[in-house]
Structures are given as C-alpha cells and as structure tokens.
C-alpha cells in the first residue's frame, strides 16, 4: 500500500508547527492538506516562516474553514486550554496528535491543580493516550487521540523510566537538573526571550514548580508502582534547540547502564552511549534521536544519568510525527531519519 494520507496542522504559525512542516516536507506518505493559524489566516507559510517559502503548501486559514472530508489526521499545535475547546469540536473520526499540555494528565484534579482551571473536555482527557512512543507504542497505534508529552518531561522520562521499571534506583532521592534551549518558549514575543536577555547568560526558572512535574509524578508512579516525587530544576540556555537532563540517582552504575541499554536495545531513535560517556545537545540537533549516558560518581552508590534530545523534534514535532506514523499504520521511522545538523 502506498497511498497518501492527507493531514492538517492546526496552529501552524508557531515553532512546533513549522517543525512539523519541515519534517513532513520530505515524508513520502503524508500530504499537508490544511494549515490553520487564526491570527495569520490568509497569509502563506512562506510569509510567516521564510525558510519554508520554497514549499508548495496550502495557505493558512482558520480552523472553522477547514474542510475535514478526506483528512485522516490532524496535528494540533495550539496553546493549552484553547486546545481542549478546539479538539472537542473536531470530527469524532479524525485522528488527532496533540502537542499541547491539555491531554497529558489522567487525573482531572491534577490537571486543575497545575493548570489553574477545570478541564473542559473530560471525555477526551479520558480517551487520550500519553505520547511517549517507546513506552506506549501499542496504545498509540490503536489510539484516536494522542497527547504529546512535555519536552522537558520526555527528556527526564527517557533517562528514568527504564530504571524505575527495572527497580535499579532508589525512588525517593531523584534529582532532575535540566537545561533547555529557548525555542520551547515559543514564538510569542516576551521580554525574557529577547536575544539581549538570553544570550551570554544562564539561569534557573520555575524552580520546583514547573508544570512538567505533573507528568513526572504521573508516569514515574506508574513505572515504579508507587508514588515517586522528584526534585526538578529547569534552566534556560543561551541556545535555540536542545535539552539536557542531568539526573542524580542512587544505585549501581553498571546496573543502571545495563537497564537503559536493554530497554532501548531495539529502539530506532534511542542511543545509549558507552558507560562513562556524556551526551551533548549539539549532537542530536534537528534529529529525532535521544542520546543517553551513565557516569558513576566518585561516591559509591551515586550515579549521574544524562539524557539529551532536541525539544522541537523528539521533544514535540518529531515525536508527534512518530506517533502519527503509528496511528496511520506507516513505518514508525518514516520521515524521521535525517541525521543531526552539526555544527
């Protein structure tokens, strides 16, 4: 079967929307049939993102104007809260890969606690499958609605989930120190994201209260079979793409390395470095790869686990495409095998 699937991108004027277009541009089985951006409706994608001006793409329109007939799947890259209202009105037979935070959390009370308002589409929330492909592959394949993970959350989980499942680390002494590029903050103008404010500087933000903690709590408890509360301190890097999590755990180094290597042995995008080596964000840039490393501390029983990925690719739009491939019955890696861009 070599048919073409028509897809739509809702919220195409942000960085994750543009990244979807970049990836799908060379995907042999997907065709972008509709793109929306309510505030930029009427513009071409090339006007909004000149690096895509050479592509033939549908003009940006409103969500209301999309003709859903013939569209198999929609990527939804809208802000959270808006998303649940929009998705609730989409055709019920449309497959949806959502990139927002709206459907990540299983427990409505937890959602309300972290996002400050009640969820408005509880049925969808109940239906959604968490989009961490390597851990929910079968559910994603069968899902209608997949909730893309937080990009920081994915980075931390890739380093920790196999360890919690294998029981090779203590669960009450986990620290996730994380550094992320600025593109995760999106394209809306904010003083704190200006070049003058970001370059040549480094600082922590949302210390101990970042919303991706909710995802950690949910998924780590599930993996460990008990409540797991981690410490999480994200920092902002003077770079555009890339997240590195430096994770401090207690356990035995080689056992930890083995648990990661075994968990990811057959995964096409997961690269576990030789024991003792540390990954770098620059070596996964623009790719769907995750590089993982394990280095023991000088103090016995303490180990550092490192996890690096590109927040816009494996952390959001690449993950979304990987999940869409599964949902559409296509090869999982299709359109995602480009090597990282370095330097």
Q: Is 151 in the active site?
A: yes
Q: Cβ neighbours of residue 94 under 8 Å, at least 6 residues apart?
A: 68, 71, 72, 73, 74, 144
Q: Name the region of 67 (left: φ>0; alpha: ψ -120 to 50; beta: rest).
A: beta
Q: Of 9, 151, 179, 308, which is the active-site residue?
A: 151
**What backbone torsions phi and psi does residue 256 show, to the nearest 5 degrees?**
-65, -45
From candidates 125, 183, 322, 325, binder to a second copy by CB under 8 A: 183
Per CB under 8 A, 198 contacts a second copy: yes
Tell me which stretch binds a second copy (CB under 8 A): 62-70, 100-108, 200-208, 256-264.
Answer: 200-208
- Which string of x and - marks every residue 78-117 that binds a second copy (by CB under 8 A)? ----------------------------------------
From candidates 31, 59, 190, 227, binder to a second copy by CB under 8 A: 190
Interface with a second copy in residues 276-305 (CB under 8 A): 278-287, 289, 291, 295-299, 302, 304
Closest CA to 4 of 42, 31, 44: 31
Q: State the sign of the Cα–Cα–Cα–Cα dihedral 104, 106, 107, 108.
A: positive
Tell me which stretch binds a second copy (CB under 8 A): 35-43, 102-110, 149-157, 237-245.
Answer: 237-245
Tokens of 326: 């599964």
From candidates 60, 74, 140, 237, binder to a second copy by CB under 8 A: 237
User: Residue 6 or 267: which CB sits closer to a second copy?
Assistant: 267
| Integer Cα distance of 260 and 257 in angstroms | 5
Q: Which residue(s) pair with 250 in the sheet?
A: 302
Shortest distance, position 250 Cβ to a second copy, whole Å = 10
* Cβ atoms of residues 44 and 56 within 8 Å: no
Tokens of 108: 């409505």
Tokens of 7: 């897809």
Residues touching a second copy, count (CB under 8 A): 84
Per CB under 8 A, 306 contacts a second copy: yes
**What backbone torsions phi and psi does residue 184 show, to the nearest 5 degrees?**
-60, -20
Shortest distance, position 219 Cβ to a second copy, whole Å = 17
Interface with a second copy in residues 147-176 (CB under 8 A): 175
Could you give the residue numbers annotated as active site?
Answer: 151
């Amino acid at each position: 079967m070599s048919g073409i699937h028509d897809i739509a991108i809702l919220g195409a004027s942000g960085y994750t929307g543009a990244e979807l277009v970049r990836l799908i541009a060379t995907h042999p089985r997907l065709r972008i049939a509709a793109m929306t951006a309510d505030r930029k409706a009427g513009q071409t994608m090339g006007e909004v993102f000149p690096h895509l001006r050479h592509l033939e793409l549908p003009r940006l329109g409103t969500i209301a104007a999309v003709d859903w007939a013939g569209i198999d799947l929609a990527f939804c890259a809208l802000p959270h809260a808006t998303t649940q209202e929009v998705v609730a009105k989409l055709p019920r037979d449309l497959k949806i890969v959502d990139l927002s935070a709206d459907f990540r959390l299983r427990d409505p009370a937890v959602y309300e606690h972290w996002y400050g308002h009640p969820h408005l589409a509880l049925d969808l929330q109940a239906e959604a499958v968490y989009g961490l492909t390597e851990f929910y592959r079968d559910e994603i394949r069968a899902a209608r609605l997949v909730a893309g993970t937080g990009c920081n959350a994915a980075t931390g989980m890739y380093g920790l989930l196999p360890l919690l499942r294998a029981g090779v680390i203590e669960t009450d002494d986990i620290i996730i120190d994380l550094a992320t590029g600025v593109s995760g903050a999106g394209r809306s103008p904010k003083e704190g994201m200006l070049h003058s404010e970001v370059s040549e500087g480094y600082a922590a933000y949302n210390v101990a209260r970042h919303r991706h903690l909710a995802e950690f709590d949910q998924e780590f408890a599930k993996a460990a079979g008990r409540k797991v509360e981690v410490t999480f301190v994200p920092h902002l890097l003077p770079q555009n793409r890339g997240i590195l999590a430096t994770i401090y755990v207690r356990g035995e180094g080689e056992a930890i390395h083995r648990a990661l290597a075994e968990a990811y042995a057959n995964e096409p995008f997961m690269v576990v470095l030789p024991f003792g080596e540390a990954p770098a964000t620059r070596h996964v840039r623009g790719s769907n790869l995750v590089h993982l490393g394990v280095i023991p501390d000088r103090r016995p029983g303490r180990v550092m686990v490192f996890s690096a990925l590109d927040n816009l690719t494996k952390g959001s739009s690449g993950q979304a495409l990987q999940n869409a491939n599964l949902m559409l019955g296509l090869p999982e890696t299709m359109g995602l095998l480009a090597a990282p861009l370095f330097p």
